[in-house]
Amino acid sequence: PFHLTRNGRRFALKMGTMIAFMIMFAFVGYVIYLQAQMDYKSAEDLEALAKSVEASENKKPAASDTGAGKPVQKLKRVILPQYEGLYEQNPDLAGWLRIPDTVIDYPVMYLKDDNDFYLKHNFRKEEDNNGLLVLDKRCDRNGDGISVLIHGHHMKSGKMFGSLKKYESKAYEEEHSKIYYDTLYEQRVYGIIGVFISSVYNSNRGDFQYYDYIDIRNKEEFDTYVQNVKEQSLYDTGLDAKFGDELITLSTCEYSRSNGRLVVVGRRIYE
C-alpha cells in the first residue's frame, strides 16, 4: 500500500488547508457579490419609484361632477395624482417620506397586522434585505391620528434610515430640519423637536417607551410624550409642541446599546 512520507503528509495538509480557504473565500466573495447586486437592483427600483412620483406631481386630479339637481354627497378622499399609479401597483402604499438633500426619499408601506413584512421585502413584495419604510400597524394609515410612527432599517450603506445617525449632530439637524411626509391624500411638513437614543423591550429598566405613544387620547399623554422627547433629546432644536399638534416619529436601530433605537421626532408645521 502507498504511504505518504512525513514531508508528503505536511504538503497534503497544507494543500488541503489552502483549498479549504480558497473555497471559503470564493463563497464569501460570492455572497458579497450577490448582496451588492441586490443592493444595486434595490437602489434602481427605488429610484424608478421616486421618478414616477416626480413625473406625476404636476398631474391634476379629476374634477368631481356633482351636477345640478343631484343630491349632495359626502366628499370622497382623492388620492394625490403622484401616488395613483404606485397605489394601483401595490395598495399597501401608505405614503411617501422625504428629507431634502438626504438619501431618504422612499415609499412608506402599511399592513394592519404586520410591521415586519416590508422591512424584509421591496415594493414588488420580493425579498430584499434593505426592505422599505413601514408605518406602524397601530397607526391610522391615512395619518388621521395625532401621532405617526415610521420604522426603517439602519443600513450600513446609509440606505433606508441609515442616515438618521447623522442627526446626532446638531449642525446636521440645522441643515436638515424639515421632514416631508405625504399620506396618500395630503402633503405634510414637520419640523424636528427632538433627537434621542433609547432602548426597546426593556421596560424594567425604565426606558422611555416612545413607541407606545401612538393613540394619544388627551393632553396629559401628549405632554408626557413631548416632555420625555425634550428631556432625552441630544440637543435643543429650538422647536416645541403643544397639545393639538400632529407628530411624526422616525425610528431605527442604534448599536451603542442592547436593543438600541435612534429616534427623530417632528411636529407638523404649516408653511
CATH of 92-269, one of 2.40.260.10, 3.30.1490.20, 3.40.50.1100, 3.40.640.10: 2.40.260.10
Cα–Cα–Cα angle for 227, 251, 266, rounded to 5 degrees = 50
Predicted confidence band at 2 (pLDDT cuts at 50, 70, 90)? low
- Structure confidence at residue 125 (pLDDT): 96
Closest CA to 98 of 257, 221, 248: 248
Q: For 193-209, write each residue's pLDDT tens digit.
A: 999 999 987 666 678 89
Q: For 139-184, write each residue's pLDDT tens digit.
A: 999 999 999 999 999 998 899 999 999 999 999 999 999 999 999 9
Q: Percent of the chain, pLDDT > 70?
A: 79
Q: For 208-258, write each residue's pLDDT tens digit.
A: 899 999 999 899 999 999 999 999 999 999 999 999 999 999 999 999 988
Q: Where are the domains of the chain?
A: 92-269
pTM for the structure as a whole: 0.79
- Does the CA dihedral 193-270-95-76 come out positive or negative? positive
Cell of 221: 399623554
- Structure confidence at residue 64 (pLDDT): 39
